[in-house]
Chains A and B, each alone.
Chain A
């Protein structure tokens, strides 16, 4: 599919969704479901409100810190698991136990340790990011061709050097697939963490508005979160495409923005 065609399709899809929303809200006629036009009208107000912008910036900053720390911790673990059966045997059951737990459900406990501030929320985001990145790094590392590692060994490269210089770049396409999932999960855990520890941030605006029955604002915030996610994902996808342009096309992600 060429770029203009897919861009057009996206515009049509977005317009269709808004039209359906508008129509459904008029037909339903309930307070908790304002039409799209009223909700969207709130967005300029929110985005020109200095306090709201600070809240949003603080959220995005926590998300970024949690994401970067999560990736930095997850990639070495995943890569080592992929190259050592013993390390994999140690981490796998642990990960299987943590995997189905909604990370935001840990928020109340974490708040007991770290308070309601940034540390708790960042830790929850960190937990949300690490699992998919570990999993994909593990798969990518496992799939590295044996002969490629042997070729490197014959050049005199030791185990650690091969892990950093061969396994890491060879697994990069797969690692970035994990990072993309991690990025979306970071956004989700960011909002839910702020739902539970309401003190500042994007989620704080959203849920305060809900408490005060300002449904226009609630929906406007949902749209803002959605657009934020879309923009972050599109930016990441561009970065990913540049970083792994050398890779065979089999690694391309179908649900991309390209």
Chain B
């Protein structure tokens, strides 16, 4: 469904220096698959996600989604950012309705859909608050609802829980999996947390230090629906986490990829 074909990205700085960020990445993601991209900070994993989103153009290679080449953003690929990026002048309800209204959905329908999603992310009763009145975890819930509202078939999540405290983070991970189990959208999820990647994903893609290359792809063969408490006691889960952490360490120490 998503085909990333030999994608490279080189940034040009203001002084005309060329900074390679991504090097020859190829990856295929099947429909309904939950894939995490894991790598040290600065390895270009977010850039890869932005390229799939159509927000950033690749320097070489191409991304196709359902056979169509990506040339720009589309409501079929919904982003969720670490920075939340909510519209601060809109209420919770206004934010979640926004995409639907822009697409010409009738107000009553947009309202009903928004209320349903707000309930799904456990924010019923907070509809009329402004983003500045919300905690980080609540903001990210709104952002997830805002993106789900316009029914993208692919979710592009860029370290969505990276700015949250540990407790909020695990709650949102659980809720995300609950939501995902309902319709199993395709998810591309960028993170630097090994545990998070293993807990959520069908496959974990590891990357090397900048310029990022694919290091290894690990299939996570753990039963779904997953429960965090059960997994933490599961020997296989522990093995995946420890194995991938070792792999990441070898990338950090600068070993050739």
Q: How far is the CA of A222 from the CA of B138 in the complex (A)?
A: 53
Task: Assess the B89–A172 pair: CB atoms within 8 A.
Answer: yes
Task: Assess the A156–B55 pair: CB atoms within 8 A.
Answer: no
Q: Which of B50, B81, B86, B103 contacts A155 (CB 8 A)?
A: B103
Task: Assess the B150–A246 pair: CB atoms within 8 A.
Answer: no
Task: Assess the B102–A157 pair: CB atoms within 8 A.
Answer: yes
Binds A, one of B21-29, B59-67, B71-79, B218-226: B71-79
Task: Assess the A154–B132 pair: CB atoms within 8 A.
Answer: no
Query: Is there a chain A Cβ closer than 8 Å to B163's Cβ?
Result: no
A248 with B88, Cβ < 8 A, contacts A154-B73, A154-B79 known? yes
A156 with B74, Cβ < 8 A, contacts A145-B83, A147-B81 known? yes
A246 with B102, Cβ < 8 A, contacts A147-B81, A154-B53, A156-B75 known? no
A155 with B150, Cβ < 8 A, contacts A150-B55, A246-B130 known? yes
Task: Assess the B132–A151 pair: CB atoms within 8 A.
Answer: no
CB distance from A157 to the nearest CB of B (A): 6
With both beta carbons as reference points, the residue of chain B lying nearest to A168 in the complex is identified as B89
Please give, as numbers and ranges, the residues of chain A lying within 8 Å of B78 by CB-CB distance.
Answer: 154
Task: Assess the B132–A247 pair: CB atoms within 8 A.
Answer: yes
CB distance from A247 to the nearest CB of B (A): 6
Query: Is there a chain B Cβ closer than 8 Å to A119's Cβ?
Result: no
CB distance from A155 to the nearest CB of B (A): 4
Please give, as numbers and ranges, the residues of chain A lying within 8 Å of B189 by CB-CB distance.
Answer: none
CB distance from A219 to the nearest CB of B (A): 45
Please give, as numbers and ranges, the residues of chain A lying within 8 Å of B102 by CB-CB distance.
Answer: 152, 155-157, 161, 165
Q: Which of B72, B81, B103, B143 contacts A153 (CB 8 A)?
A: B72
CB distance from A35 to the nearest CB of B (A): 50
Query: Is there a chain B Cβ closer than 8 Å to A170's Cβ?
Result: yes
Q: Which of B87, B99, B150 contacts A169 (CB 8 A)?
A: B87
Query: Is there a chain B Cβ closer than 8 Å to A166's Cβ?
Result: yes
Q: How far is the CA of A150 from the CA of B158 in the complex (A)?
A: 12
Query: Is there a chain A Cβ closer than 8 Å to B98's Cβ?
Result: yes
Task: Assess the A166–B87 pair: CB atoms within 8 A.
Answer: yes
Task: Assess the A246–B74 pair: CB atoms within 8 A.
Answer: no
Query: Is there a chain B Cβ closer than 8 Å to A148's Cβ?
Result: yes
**Do most interface residues of chain A lie in helix, strand or loop, or is the interface mixed?**
helix
Most buried by A among B73, B99, B103: B73
CB distance from A112 to the nearest CB of B (A): 45
Q: How far is the CA of A170 from the CA of B86 in the complex (A)?
A: 11
Task: Assess the B132–A153 pair: CB atoms within 8 A.
Answer: no
With both beta carbons as reference points, the residue of chain B lying nearest to A247 in the complex is identified as B88
Task: Assess the A154–B81 pair: CB atoms within 8 A.
Answer: no
Task: Assess the B132–A246 pair: CB atoms within 8 A.
Answer: yes
Task: Assess the B83–A155 pair: CB atoms within 8 A.
Answer: no
Please give, as numbers and ranges, the residues of chain A lying within 8 Å of B83 by CB-CB distance.
Answer: 145, 147
Q: How far is the CA of A162 from the CA of B18 in the complex (A)?
A: 30
Please give, as numbers and ranges, the residues of chain B lying within 8 Å of A169 by CB-CB distance.
Answer: 87, 89
Q: Which of B50, B55, B75, B85 contacts A145 (CB 8 A)?
A: B85
A154 with B75, Cβ < 8 A, contacts A147-B81, A147-B83 known? yes
Task: Assess the A147–B103 pair: CB atoms within 8 A.
Answer: no
With both beta carbons as reference points, the residue of chain B lying nearest to A150 in the complex is identified as B55
Please give, as numbers and ranges, the residues of chain A lying within 8 Å of B146 by CB-CB distance.
Answer: 151
A148 with B74, Cβ < 8 A, contacts A154-B53, A154-B79, A156-B102 known? no
User: Which B residues are within 8 Å of any A CB, using their own CB?
Assistant: 50, 53, 55, 72-75, 77-79, 81, 83, 85-90, 98-99, 102-103, 130-132, 143, 146-147, 150, 152
Give me 8 A-to-B residue pairs in the complex whose CB atoms sit less than 8 angstroms apart, sorted by A's number. A151-B81, A151-B85, A151-B146, A154-B53, A154-B75, A156-B75, A156-B103, A244-B89
